[in-house]
């Protein structure tokens, strides 16, 4: 939930639900039925995300490659844009611009300006399908992505050579000299967090210019040993959290690209149903950027984000498929395969309340 007033949910059959959080546990959620009842051969909704500044509109992508913008008040589609390449896997809206990052069946990330209704440019570098994209909340130009090529990449959309670094499972970031330019070329990126005193935002600064050459697509760097199903910034954007299909959750330092936590204890391999729903957020970071919640089959584990230590395990009925955190309150929401939404209060760990079934 971006504003904390509504919880946006998407079921495997394409049913969109809007649950009013102001009246938690009371009343019925508003739903948008699947297209024509979700008949075979018709597009299925695959992913969704809020407009980041209020709950007035949200974005959805379907299996035919159509991006649509919806008005929350009328629950009507206001605009649609066909990408013609099918199966949009993930969406992320920038907090500082009108750009929407779109991940689909190709190895290219599309940047879409929802204000003008046009595609602005593409980010190439992945060697297989991109399954996850996420904008930084602190710097509107930083984007992280993960895909079936088992890599997690950091992008600066202002640059000609947009890929800043590729997180490597061998403890250190892969220098651009290994994939760009001639052998022995100095590393073009020296990251440091600097503060914009006027806006209060943080951004990555470089002490040297990045070589103006494209990444060689043939060079492959692994961040995981299995396809990356989710990659997300922490709320303060100092870290990136990623999860592979084998369930391994890793924490990366954005400034160095090094692994901070190799695997959070208790992380299990993702069930097939959880990977089938492309927009499943199988982990969530608290707004204080100190706590991580990980969905593991029939339980949700709570970890210290920096040390990786498991603090608590919360259990419920059914298999958990996704988790998200309220932006202002200490409440965790989780969806499960029984089409239910459960809320957990971290103050009373282990105590849960079923919000709505069906």
Instruction: Walk along the chain (358 residues) and give the pLDDT tens digit of each residue.
Output: 556 778 888 877 777 888 877 655 455 567 776 665 444 555 677 788 888 887 888 998 887 788 889 988 888 888 888 876 667 889 999 988 889 999 987 889 999 998 888 888 889 889 999 999 999 988 989 999 999 999 999 999 988 788 988 998 875 544 443 333 323 222 233 333 333 333 334 334 333 333 333 333 345 688 999 999 999 999 899 999 999 988 889 999 998 889 999 888 877 666 554 444 444 568 888 888 888 999 887 888 889 999 999 988 888 777 888 888 888 888 888 887 776 788 887 544 444 444 443 3
Determine the 3-state secondary structure of 354 from DSSP: strand
**Which pLDDT value is given to residue 35?**
63
Domain ranges of the chain: 284-352
CA 204, 208, 214, 215 dihedral sign is: negative
171-177's contacts with Cβ under 8 Å and 24+ in sequence apart are 171/258, 171/259, 172/256, 172/257, 172/258, 173/256, 173/257, 173/258, 174/221, 174/257, 176/210, 176/211
Query: Taking a C-beta distance cutoff of 8 angstroms, is the pair 232, 253 a contact?
Result: no
Angstrom distance (rounded) from CA 92 to CA 179: 27
Angstrom distance (rounded) from CA 63 to CA 70: 17
**Among 70, 74, 52, 75, residue whose Cα is nearest residue 60:** 70
Query: What order do you get walking across the sheet with 152-156 strand by strand?
Result: 130-135, 142-147, 152-156, 163-167
Query: Taking a C-beta distance cutoff of 8 angstroms, is the pair 285, 232 a contact?
Result: yes
Query: Taking a C-beta distance cutoff of 8 angstroms, is the pair 95, 87 a contact?
Result: no
**Among 114, 139, 276, residue whose Cα is nearest residue 194:** 139
- Distances 186 to 31, 90, 91, 125, 161 between C-alpha atoms, Å: 54, 34, 34, 20, 16
Contacts of 135 (CB under 8 A, 6+ apart): 92, 93, 94, 95, 99, 101, 142, 143, 233
Answer whether 0.85 is exceeded by the pTM.
no
Contacts of 87 (CB under 8 A, 6+ apart): 46, 63, 64, 65, 104, 105, 278
**Which pLDDT value is given to residue 126?**
92
DSSP class of residue 275 equals H
Query: Taking a C-beta distance cutoff of 8 angstroms, is the pair 100, 90 a contact?
Result: no
**Among 32, 28, 36, 35, residue whose Cα is nearest residue 9:** 32
Query: Which pair of structure tokens corresponds to residue 65?
Result: 């490659």
Query: Which pair of structure tokens corresponds to residue 46?
Result: 């695959």
What radius of gyration, in Å, describes the C-alpha atoms of the chain?
20
Query: Taking a C-beta distance cutoff of 8 angstroms, is the pair 17, 29 a contact?
Result: yes
Phi-psi category of residue 278: left, alpha or beta, with phi > 0 → left and psi -120 to 50 → alpha: alpha
């Amino acid at each position: 939930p971006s504003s904390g007033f509504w919880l946006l949910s998407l079921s495997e059959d394409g049913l969109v639900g809007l649950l009013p959080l102001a009246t938690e546990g009371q009343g019925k959620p508003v739903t948008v039925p699947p297209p024509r009842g979700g008949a075979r051969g018709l597009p299925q909704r695959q992913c969704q995300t809020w407009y980041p500044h209020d709950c007035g509109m949200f974005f959805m992508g379907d299996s035919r490659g159509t991006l649509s913008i919806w008005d929350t008040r009328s629950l009507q589609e206001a605009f649609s844009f066909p990408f013609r390449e099918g199966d949009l896997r993930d969406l992320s809206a920038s907090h500082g611009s009108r750009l929407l990052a779109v991940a689909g069946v190709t190895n290219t990330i599309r940047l879409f300006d929802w204000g003008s209704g046009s595609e602005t440019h593409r980010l190439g570098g992945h060697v297989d399908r991109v399954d996850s994209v996420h904008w930084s909340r602190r710097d509107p130009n930083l984007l992280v992505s993960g895909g079936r090529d088992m890599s997690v990449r950091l992008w600066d959309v202002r640059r000609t050579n947009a890929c800043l670094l590729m997180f490597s499972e061998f403890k250190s970031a892969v220098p651009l000299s290994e994939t760009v330019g001639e052998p022995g070329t100095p590393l073009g990126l020296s990251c440091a967090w600097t503060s914009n005193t006027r806006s209060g935002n943080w951004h990555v600064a470089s002490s040297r210019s990045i070589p103006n050459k494209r990444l060689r697509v043939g060079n492959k760097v692994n961040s995981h040993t299995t396809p990356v199903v989710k990659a997300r910034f922490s709320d303060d954007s100092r870290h990136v959290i990623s999860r592979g299909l084998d369930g391994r959750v890793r924490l990366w330092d954005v400034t160095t690209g090094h692994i901070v936590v190799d695997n959070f204890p208790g992380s299990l391999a993702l069930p097939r149903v959880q990977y089938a729903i492309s927009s499943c957020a199988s982990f969530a970071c608290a707004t204080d950027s100190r706590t991580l919640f990980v969905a593991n089959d029939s339980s949700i584990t709570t970890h210290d984000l920096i040390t990786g230590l498991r603090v608590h395990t919360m259990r419920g009925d059914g298999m958990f498929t996704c988790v998200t955190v309220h932006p202002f309150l200490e409440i965790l929401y989780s969806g499960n395969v029984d089409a239910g939404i459960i809320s957990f209060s971290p103050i009373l760990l282990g105590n849960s309340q079923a919000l709505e079934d069906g």
